[in-house]
Structure 1
Amino acid sequence: MIFPFSFSLLFTIAAAEEFSYCQSGADWDGLCEKGDAQSPINIITDSITHESTGQGILLTYTMIKAKGSFTDHNYQVTGNFVTGVFNSNNSDITGYGKQFHFHAPSEHTVNGVHYDLEMHSVQYNKTGSPIFVIGVLFQLNDKSNDFLEKVIDSYSIYTNIDLSEAFDGEEDLINFYYYQGSLTTPPCTEGINWFVWDKIQDVNQTQLDFFTSRWAGSSSFACGKGNNRLTQELHNRTVYRYDNSVILMLGVPIVALLMH
């Protein structure tokens, strides 16, 4: 399958808007309220379209010394961590990963179930508009996550972060869900290609507390709720499930192409 994508879509990123998670996004207006291709969604595994062959994403990573910070709405680490290319309508679409950030609990659900944490690696085009996002889900258990430990360390000091570690360092990433959606915060821009990896990652309680202590664990944030938007109606969209024959490759980045 060739991922659908339209160059006719106009991506307009408005200035940062004031919004709250007190109603988990139910009170957001504009496209957030009226759009019919919104994210996140509930992925129902017995109602998706399976693809055994198709296009993957060529991802090239570099290690970046970065410092994370809590924004008004999430925890974000900024830097040119990755370049991604996928084929759509017989054209290569290139995205530049300028930041990744976290939501707790997860924004996407699988069969109605939230995970404890979700990371979004956002990819932008050369003009600075988002074109696709790779989502990674984390589940609470006793195992420490080395990647998250570095992300947490980066809150205090500049830390060497290799985003490939979020994917277990694997060169061939397989088994993911794909659909067309939107940004999950205002202005909820649509036309975003979503790739949600279905290999669930570990997070231990101490690491999870780093995030939730600022969100659901804080009465001063969003009425004591997490920073996750409610799942949205699927409408006429199709959710695809890719198996082992769809490969995402990790490699060495072309630094000259990375955006600042």
Structure 2
Amino acid sequence: MQQLTVCVLLASCAWTVCAAAGDWCYQSQFTCDHQCNTPDKWNKANSNCAGKNQSPINIVTRKTVKDKTLIPFKFINYEQKFRTSIKNNGHSVQVVLPHLTTISDGGLPTTYKAVQFHLHWGNNGGPGSEHTIDGEQYPMELHIVHMKHHYTDLGTALSDPEGVAVLGFFYKRSVGANRKYEPFINALGSIRATNANTSMSGISLTQLIPPEQNLTNYYRYKGSLTTPGCTEAVIWTLFEDPIPLSMEQLQLFSNLQFHDRKPMVGTFRPVQPLNGRQVFRSGSAVILASSALLVAATVTALGLF
């Protein structure tokens, strides 16, 4: 009991200890031995994290507004296989992407080129996505980060209120393993420790995300980076169609380690207030829903159900 009391006292003053160092962490990392700025104290690590347009958010689907400008994306070189490095950066898994990979249309103001992708996950396949849909938290979330095509570095792009576009994808548990993910999943064993990295080849973005014909249903809002410095310069796109991974594949991410060698789990920021922002949806979702209702009505009318 005495040890618990000491830990509670340390936790209560952790923000004063950490504010000077600017050390930020996820809730799963905070212990009596490792005091750091947990997500509710990230503004102590970087004042931007107390902004009014922060990410992630909970998307309440019935409150979204249809936007006809949210047409299908144009994906360039997403199918191109590349060789790159994969790294445990102490907070996530990060993969550098070739800038020849771009996106346009999809209601974006210009063409954006790929920079990197990383993921956020829970504990051994449990809830771990950053964004939630109607309160549902998925096991994991993929962020493919792009910047406006004329910028040469992400830091400069973040000084532009629309300089960065992130494509977000949710994951769902599947019965069988997703074989398309094998090159990526197999590389995780080589980067368990913080700052460990290894090369990865023979992989494309196309094989990591749903088929292009399933990428017409998505949500859009203006937000921020989901880690400090929480810069509010991101156009967020979140796709409805989740990516399947087996429980065994999802659990492998929890074998990675934070800098103190503890399991890298719970790597997500809690949802942030909307503060009056509007979330938009592409038109396809409504069309598909209407089609489904029409089919159901037809089947019922014909007595086939």
1:123 matched to 2:146? The reply is yes
- The counterpart of 2:282, out of the listed 226, 230, 242, is 242
Q: Distance in 1 between matches of 2:261 and 2:62?
A: 38
Which of the two has greater helix per residue? 2
Shift in Å at residue 87 of structure 1? 7.2
Deviations 1:217-239 (A, max 9, x none): x98257xx511001000011110
Query: Which residue matches 2:116?
Result: 99
Which of the two has greater strand per residue? 1
Provide the alpha-carbon RMSD of the alignment. 2.7
Task: Name the CA shift for 1:167/1:33 in 2 (closer, same or farther; >3 Å).
Answer: closer
CA contact (8 A) 1:43 1:239 kept: yes
Q: Distance in 2 between matches of 1:145 and 1:245?
A: 25
Query: Which residue matches 1:48?
Result: 64
Deviations 1:110-148 (A, max 9, x none): 111110011000002323225110001001221322333
1:28 matched to 2:35? The reply is no
After TM superposition, the structure 1 = structure 2 runs for residues 1-260 of structure 1, keeping only pairs within 5 Å, are 18-22=23-27, 25-29=39-43, 30-52=46-68, 54-60=70-76, 61=78, 62-80=80-98, 82-86=101-105, 92-104=109-121, 105-125=128-148, 126-128=151-153, 129=157, 131-155=164-188, 156=190, 157-170=199-212, 173-214=215-256, 220-221=262-263, 225-244=265-284
Q: Distance in 1 between matches of 2:49 and 2:89?
A: 23
Gaps of 5+ in 2: 1-21, 31-37, 122-127, 159-163, 191-198, 287-305
Shift in Å at residue 33 of structure 1? 3.6
Q: Which runs of 4+ in 1 moved over 4 A?
A: none
Shift in Å at residue 215 of structure 1? 6.3
Gaps of 5+ in 1: 1-16, 247-260
Shift in Å at residue 86 of structure 1? 3.5
TM-score, normalization by structure 2:
0.66
Q: Distance in 1 between matches of 2:285 and 2:248?
A: 37
Shift in Å at residue 208 of structure 1? 0.6
CA contact (8 A) 1:66 1:160 kept: no
Q: Distance in 2 between matches of 1:141 and 1:245?
A: 23
Shift in Å at residue 27 of structure 1? 1.2
**Bigger relative contact order, structure 1 or 2, given CA contacts below 8 A and separation 6+?**
1
